[in-house]
Amino acid sequence: MVDAVDRTAEPGRISVTVDLHVTESTSPNDLRPVATEIARRLKRSSLATRISVLDVTNAGAPKPKYRTLLTDENFRDHPWDGTPSEAAELAVWRIVEPG
């Protein structure tokens, strides 16, 4: 499921949350590669200029093993185009408790 919410503190900006269904996942770190691919695709979309925060969760799994999620709180500042490296992109994600 994908949810987009207007950011009241940032008029015209949205926060996007993507709930995945990855039953094998035991921590948010398992989601980093797919979260990075989602970020790359969103960055090339028409919504990219409006997205300020991107969250990726495993909340779509029938029995998630954790509640924490991956977040990029500065989505618009990151290129999400493979630069400077894939490892650097994977490191952008922070693990946080849902708020």
Number of domains comprising the chain: 1
pTM of the model: 0.93
Beta-carbon contacts of 28 under 8 Å, excluding residues fewer than 6 positions away, are 56, 58, 66, 68, 69, 70, 93, 95
Per-residue pLDDT tens over the stretch 36-87: 999 999 999 999 999 999 999 999 988 888 999 999 999 999 999 999 999 9
* Domain assignment of residue 41, given as a range: 2-96
| 63/52 Cα distance (integer angstroms) | 29
| 95/27 Cα distance (integer angstroms) | 9
